[in-house]
Every structure is written in C-alpha cells, then in structure tokens.
Amino acid sequence: MLYHIAKRILLSIPLLLGITLISFVVIHLAPGEPMSLQTDLNPRVTAASKAQLRHLYGLDEPLPVQYLKWVWRSIRLDFGRSFAPDGRKVAEKIAERIPVTIFLSVLEMLVIILIAIPIGILSATRQYSLFDKATTVFVFIGFAIPTFWLALLCMNFFGVYLGWLPISGLKSMNYPLLSLWGKFFDRLRHLILPVLVGAFGGLAGFSRYMRSTMLEVIRQDYIRTARAKGLSERSVIYKHALRNALLPVVTILGLSVPGLIGGGVIFETIFAIPGMGQLFYGSVMSRDYPVIMGILVIGAVLTLLGNLLADISYALVDPRIRLAKER
Amino acid sequence: MRELMQRSIFWRHFQRNRLALMGTGIVVTLFVVALLAPILSPYDPTEVDPQHILSPPDQQHRFGTDRLGRDVLSRIIWGSRISLLVGFVAVGIATFIGILLGAVAGYYGRWVDSLIMRFVDLMLCFPTFFLILAVIAFLEPSIWNIMVIIGVTGWMGVARLVRAEFLSLKEREFILSARALGASDLRIIFRHILPNSLAPVLVSATLGVAGAILTESALSFLGIGIQPPTPSWGNILTGGKDNLEIAWWLSFFPGLAILITVLGYNLLGEGMRDALDPRLRQQ
C-alpha cells in the first residue's frame, strides 16, 4: 500500500517538471517581451535602460538557464510580482483567492455526488423505465447546456424576477451587522446559485457514468449469487452492487478537478466571486503575465493532486490493490 | 463487398435510433441556416437602429433588438456561420494533430510511444480552459486565433483513441501481409491501418464539434473570443448579461441556439457510436 502511494508520488515528479516546461514555453512563444507593455509606450525609455530592464528580469541569459532559474523559483512558489498597479507578490495574490475556489469546488463536488449517485442507481435498477428515460433526456440537456447561459437564466429568474436570491458576491453589504445565524444564512443564500449552477454540468456526466457502471455490475455473477442466496433486493443493490459500482467513480471524481477549476473562471466572473478564476480572468484582460503564469502552474498542480488523491483513495477502497503489494 | 455490408448494417441501426435522426435533422438544418443566412435573416445583422433600442420581441423583430437596435434574430442566424466555422476548423486541427501523434505512437511503440503518451498526460494536467485563456492573453482575439487555440488544446483524446486502434490493428494478419509485400511504413500507416481506425475518430470529432462550439461561445461571452460587431452567439449573450434586468430576450434566444446546436451534434455523435459498436447493439 505504502509502496503503491510512494510510486504514485514519485511518478508525478516528472509530470510536475513537464508542467513547468509547458508553462515556460507558453510565455516564450508570446510575441514581444513580457515587459514591452511597460516600456513600448514610454518615449523616455532609452535602449540602455531597456537593456538594464532585460538584465533585471534575466531576459539576457540563454533560455535553458532562464528556465532552470524559473523552475527553481516556482518550486519555492515565487512567481515574481504582479504587473498590476499594486505590484504585490503573485504568490500572495493567488494564496488569498485559492481557498474560495477550492471551497466552491468541494461544495459542487458534494452536490454532484449527493444527487448523481441516487439518480444513477435508480435509473440503472429501473432500466428503460419512465424515470430512466427522463434522466436520459436530462443528461443530454445537461451535456449541451452552456453553463454560463444557465447561470444567466437562474440569475434572471431567481434573482431578478422572483427576487429570492442574491446574484453576485459572497456576502451582502450589511454582512458585518448581522448576527451569527444571520451571517451563516447570508453566506448560504449567496452560495446557492453558483454551487448549483456549477454542479449542473458535472451532474449530467456523473449520473450517466454511475448508471453505466451500475448496469455493468448488476450483470456480474456475484450479484446473481447474492440473489440466489435469497438476500433482499435492497441489500443486493445497496450492499453488493453499489460498493463495486462506486470504485471507478472515485477515479472520475479526481479527474473532474480540472473541469471544476477551469469552469470557475466563468462562474466566478458571472457571479462576482473573488476566487482564483476571477483573478485569472482579470489578469488575462490586463495581460498581467506573472499572475497568468502563476495560476497556470497552480491550476495544473491542483489537477495533479486531484489525480493523485483519486489514485490513492482508489487503492484504499479496492482490496485488490490494497492487499496486492503487502508482502 | 464486405465494406458495403458493414455500411448497410450501420445505416440500419442508425435509422432505427430516433434520437440520432433528430440530431441529424438539427445539424442539417443548421447547415442550411448558415448557408442561406443572407436570405433568411430579415435584417442586416450589423445595422444599427436608434429607433428600436432594446425593444422586446414583437411582429417586427421576432427575437427583439439589442442595445444598438440590431435585430437579434438576424444576429443569431449570422452567428450560426461563426459557430459552424469554429466547430469544424478547430476540430479539424485537433483531429489532424491527434491522428498524427496517435498513429506515430501506436505504430512505432517503444520510446516514441512513451514520449508522446507522457506528453499527452502532461497536456491533460492543465485545465483546458486555463490553457486557452493563457494563450489568448498573448494573442489578439481574432476568429482564426480562437480556432487554432481550441484545436491545439483539444487533440489529446483523439491521440489516445488512434493510438489504441493502431496498437490492436498493427498485429493483425492483413498488416503482416502488407509488410511482407514490401509496403513502406508510411503506406501501411495511411493506407492500411488508418482507414480501419477512422470510425471512432469520426464519432469523437462529431462530439468534439459540440465541445468546440461551447468553448467558443464561452470565450466570446467573456469578451475574449469573437469580437463585435461580428455576431456570435456568445457575444450576443454578453449583451444579455449587461442588460439582465431589462432584456431577457438578449440572453434567452442565443443561449437556446447554442443548446440546440450542441444537443444536435451530441445526439448525432452518440447515435453514430451506438450504430458502430456491436457490443451496444445486443443490449
């Protein structure tokens, strides 16, 4: 078991290096230099001071040297300073945004699990029933619906037309004045739309996946054995079948990390939520290269972590892997 | 002869699938709409009309007008050209790269294979949307750049698919016999193996068009895709977001157009997959 985990972690190190290499290539494919935004429009910048700036940023060194230096700094999470007027450290800027994004992603994942697993089980055990057909339609629409459009529709209906839910931000203007419970409910009200809309896309894919693994498991011999033993249908489905059907699902959860994080750009922008996605969008609009590169690397590392966690938890729940290497 | 038979089996199963036929209908309709845009659209999509700013749907403007008084229906009709173009060119690029790398990896195996597949793993580590945004930050958001970027960041699935097909096909007897006859690697790859592995690629390309259209509309919605005044479904929706409280028609209709289009390609792709996969047929 430990061997398996250690192997997984070691295997992700070259991937990590590769991530930094691709990010580095992306910066250097860019036409123009990172600092041209600061110097090109300024008539007082002389050739000498340009060279000085190039030297300051280390742009006069050969590319491999630049890459190694950049990797060394990235490992220590030093992504330089933002080009934005505040000129703060990139790592600091990202660090204050990450918790919001991760919190939202975890909530979305919980919603997906809580809704999709029962849907998958029900439509698999009642294949071709009315419920199954209804979910199939729902799944096809879920795959096809542009989530930002769904967000707009929900904002319009629940926020503007009905006036039930706030449509932007994470807290109200009068947040500091509220009681403890008031604060809690205020947060909750702000979270409902972003989390539900964010979970919607994943919901479709996940319930369909759950349905197909469940269908596969139900056809296995050991399920027939369980039925033959005279076990109740309930314990056949929820004990014997469900446990085995949930195995591959763990992997899918890990693989859904990039989608959730990437989707964050759209939701956080629409709902004005101060997360990493919103920061990324702002940085792209103002061409704040150091922040863009920092988030690109962090996003990839989070994805890698998601995969790693999926692998490890898969090993934890699957006795075939858990016991295989313990000799 | 055998190929003909397989084709007729495919058609028989495809025709029985009502959802697949619906998808085909949607896709064909979209092609017709895009082709006949100048005839079908009641107004010039970029014509500004100060008399009718943000007017709700009525007899004159079926889908209402936007904040410059442009007819939304006409803009949606012309926007179908953009989504069609982006969908096909982006997927064309992705499929080309994917087939090339997947074929080389699967055919040559060994270190070539490991090198290419590790690169695929790497590319899959990046949240695709992040990668696209990062590249766009450096480039001008023109329609060509958008198509190239979506294509270049979307080939990994195809590469894996083609590689798997090549791995299983290259050991078959007809390949051995081709090699015995002295066929070159290139000839074996492109004349013998590739044509036999195209079916699943076609399915994934069809589903890929749907994905590319969704990505383009999201980018245009965020203001970093197709730039106005060129109408695209995504950038009409931006206007919908800015006028959320007063003009529901600006966000409702273009979103519906995206939904129906993507649904059409998905149904078509799934229908093709079901008709091609003999395992699914028996169920």
Q: Measured between beta carbons, which residues in chain B are less than 8 angstroms from residue A279? A: none
Alpha helix positions (H), B36-109: 37-40, 72-108
Chain mean position to CA A279: 15
What ipTM, to 2 d.p.? 0.82
Best mutation target, B86, B116, B125, to test chain A (most A CBs within 10 A): B125
How far is the C-alpha of A322 from the C-alpha of B268, rounded, in Å? Answer: 42
Phi, psi of B65 (to 5 degrees): -130, 165
User: Residue A58's pLDDT is what?
Assistant: 66
The residue with tokens 């792209």 is A284
Res. B93: pLDDT tops 90: yes
Query: A258 vs B210: CB contact, 8 Å cut-off?
Result: no
pLDDT at site A43: 63
| A-B Cβ pairs (cutoff 8 Å, strict) | 133
Distance CA B223, CA B106 (A): 40
φ, ψ for residue A81 (rounded to 5)? -110, 150
pLDDT at B265: 92
Are A303 and B118 within 8 A, CB to CB?
no
Percent of chain A with pLDDT over 70: 88
Is B133 an 8 Å CB contact of chain A? Answer: yes
- Whether residue A266 and residue B130 make contact (CB cut-off 8 A), yes or no, is no
Tell which wins on pLDDT, A148 or A87. Answer: A148
The confidence score (pLDDT) of residue B261 equals: 93
CB contact residues (below 8 A), chain B span 246-265, against chain A = 248, 251-252, 254-255, 258-260, 262-263
- Torsion angles phi and psi, residue B71, rounded to 5: -75, 120
B280 close to A (CB below 8 A): no
- Pairwise CB contact (< 8 Å): A156 & B244: yes
Q: Across chain A, what does the average pLDDT equal?
A: 79
DSSP state at residue B244? T
User: What's this model's pTM, rounded to 2 decimal places?
Assistant: 0.85
Q: Hey, is the C-beta of B141 within 8 angstroms of any chain A C-beta?
A: no
Residue-wise pLDDT for B159-187, tens only, equals: 998 898 888 888 788 888 888 887 778 88
Helix or strand run (H / E) with residue B179:
helix B173-180
Residue contact A160–B262, C-beta within 8 A: no
